[in-house]
Structures are given as C-alpha cells and as structure tokens.
Amino acid sequence: MTKKPFVTKEQLEEIVKEYPTPFHLYDEKGIRQNAEALKEAFSWNKGYKEYFAVKATPNPFLIKILQEYGCGCDCSSYTELMLSEAIGATGEDIMFSSNDTPAEDFRLADRLGAIINLDDITHIDFLEKAIGHIPETISCRYNPGGIFKISNDIMDNPGDAKYGMTTDQIFDAFRILKEKGAKEFGIHAFLASNTVTNEYYPMLAKVLFELAVRLQKETGAHIKFINLSGGIGIPYKPDQEPNDIRVIGEGVRKVYEEVLVPAGMGDVAIYTELGRFMLGPYGCLVTKAVHEKHTYKEYIGVDACAANLMRPAIYGAYHHITVMGKEDEPCDHVYDVTGSLCENNDKFAVDRRLPKIDIGDLLVIHDAGAHGFSMGYNYNGKLRSAEVLLKEDGSTQLIRRAETPKDYFATFDCFEIGKNMVK
C-alpha cells in the first residue's frame, strides 16, 4: 500500500525552483477541510472549542487559518503565549497547559487572560504567589494512574507519566481553589498519545465525565468545561485506517448524554487540544537525493536530516516516503534513507523497500505537518529549513524563511568574536 502526496511531481519541480530543498510544505486545502470536519463533529456541544496545540506547529500563518474556524491556542511556554498574543488570540482563546512552570510564564498567561490549567496541586500556592491571586476560571489536569486500555489493548501508561494530579489531589485542589475564590472550573486529561482508534476519545470522556459529576457533587465547584486534550492520532503507515472524527464526535456525544445530562450538567463545554490530528497529514518534508552509498547496506543520502524531522531518529517512528514520479514503479530496492548528521540514527527509513532512487530525485516524507519543523534543532550547525504553504489556488507562500549562518551565530553578537561571525 502507498500514500498519495498532496502535491504533484510537476508542482514540486516548480516549487523547488523558488525554494531550495529541504523545506516543509503544507496543504492549505487539506487543513481547511479537516478543521471544518472537526467543527461539525462537535457542533452538538454549544460551548465546544478546539485549542490548537501550538507546540505541534508553531507557525502563525497556519494557526491563523485555524482561527478562521474558531480555534484557540493551547500554549505551554512563554514564547508560545507570545506567539498567540501576536496573532490576536486573547483571553479565553488561550489555554495555558504547562508543567514545571516558571513564575514568569504564569504571569504572562494571567496578563493575557488565558485559562490556566494547573498540572499539580502544589502549583496552587506557586501560582497565587506568582500572580497575586487565583483566577476566577481555572482548570486542573487529572491523571488516574494505572494502565489505560481499550478492549485488551494497552494504549498508554498514565501512572508512569509526569503529568497531572491523582484522584485525591484533584478533589483537594478543587476545594482549595474554591476557598481561594475560583468560581468556574475545568478538568483536563491526556491519557494516550497518537491513538488510531475511534474509541479513545469516548472512553476518555467517560472517565472525565464521571469524575466531573463527583467533583461537582462533592466539592460544590461548578464545572464549566472538560478538556479532552489531544491523543487523536493519524495513520503514519499506509495500511492503517484513519480515525473518523465524526464517529468520534458522536461517541463523545452519547457518553455526554448518558453521564452529564442526567446529572444536570448539560451546560458543560467540551474542549479539545489537538495538534497532530489538525496538521500532521497536511505537511510534508521535501528533500532531494544527493548521494548513494554501497557498503554493507544500500544507502541513499538526502539533503534533509534529523534536524528537519527528528521523530524517526528518536522514536524509530515510521514516516512514509514517496519518490516523486516513481509512484507506480516497483519497490524492488531496499534502502536506508539517511541525513548527514554525525549520528548513526540520522535515518528517515531503515531497510525500506522503495523504487530505484537516482541522484536528484525528489522525495516527499509524509505526515510531517506536526512535530516536524517544531522539533528541529541545530546540531552539527545545521540550519532550520523554510516552511512553505501550498495555497488552495495552487500558488505558494513562504511562511518561514530558512535560517542563515547569521541566525545561527546571532546569540554570540554580544561578543567581539560573534560580531565577526555575523557580518
């Protein structure tokens, strides 16, 4: 099985004339269609809002597209808050979900009027000391511990995760926050990552809805929203069945009707914080074959490296590769597709069956629209590549220029040696 790129070979050949490889390319049409589908899937909930996980793809041009569909920003750091403010996200359009949080981050979140989601019960006093008060609307992150299963499949191990409060802690936190003046409460949880099943969100919803009923009953706190966070994944491998967001939305609605409505909590808003699902399939890394090597294995060296997309290097993650123009040719060659870093794990594919690759061939590395560029780094002095938007009309827009050596050396500009390097 294979994946079809959202760009043709002919289009790509024109694009690379203007933007040298490697670069990340994004599909505006796909992004818009997906955002509309998500909005429709949860339209049954009057207060529904998606808070896009800025960490996944921190590009203001892309986030502004999502804003057109009512999306807010999920931030976890000072600079993500700055980015959100710069594109006009204000007040409760920002959800600040962080951990091990510096005081200055809390102060900026408070100044912007963001909804603050506390990761730990000890952060209540820390927050109050940092900003001088407790916000009237506040959220707490929950971790039920143990192993999270769907049917007999283990999805993840929340008990081994550093995030969130225990059951006892979240009850205590609600009581303390209520005593300190909080009036509206939210619950947040993230129990599994990149799930490719329509069952995850409804099961998570049931856990959180039942918790919400208990919390409101036992603490008297008014639950304003329940944030299902992220976790809806994408099919990185071509033989995987993609999630159906409409089926997922309907599954959550049924649990909502079964648990919250009978408890008199039919006014609770549902929030999500999706990143990978929103943009992952609608971005790719475009690179060119520049070397071939024949030793104990067959290698194809490309001009991208793990600094452009590190998931395969650190997780052994699978990203499908299309050799443009050779989609219908037999995959009768076995290659390691490598970058140029001085690390042996700098490989986009290991023992991957592909068509014969010739020097100069353009390769599309799929599903790099989230946790791709954003996880980039400068090891070996590698410079971050450009980001380009393929617009609905077929034209392109540069939405982030490639780094230059001047950018790389800019943090030395306070020293004489640095002034010489950045000339």
What is the mean pLDDT of the segment spanning 38-42?
Answer: 98
Assigned architecture for domain 281-412: Beta Barrel (2.40)
* Neighbouring-strand partners of residue 53: 74
pLDDT at 206: 96
pLDDT cut 90: percent of the chain above it? 91
Task: Render pLDDT for 330-367 as a digit per residue (tens, 0 to 9).
Answer: 999 999 999 999 999 999 999 999 999 999 999 999 99
The band of 154, judged by pLDDT with boundaries at 50, 70 and 90, is: very low
Is 281-412 the same fold as 28-279? no
- Whether the per-residue pLDDT at 153 is higher than 70: the answer is no
pTM metric for this prediction: 0.95
Residue 253 backbone phi and psi in degrees, to 5: -60, -45
The band of 152, judged by pLDDT with boundaries at 50, 70 and 90, is: very low
Active site residues: 342
On whether the 28-279 domain is CATH 3.20.20.80, my answer is: no
pLDDT at 372: 96
- Whether the per-residue pLDDT at 35 is higher than 70: the answer is yes
The band of 145, judged by pLDDT with boundaries at 50, 70 and 90, is: confident
Residue 142 backbone phi and psi in degrees, to 5: -110, 140
Domain locations in the chain as residue ranges = 28-279, 281-412
Task: Quote the tokens at residue 103.
Answer: 């005081």
pLDDT at 148: 64
- Whether the per-residue pLDDT at 214 is higher than 70: the answer is yes
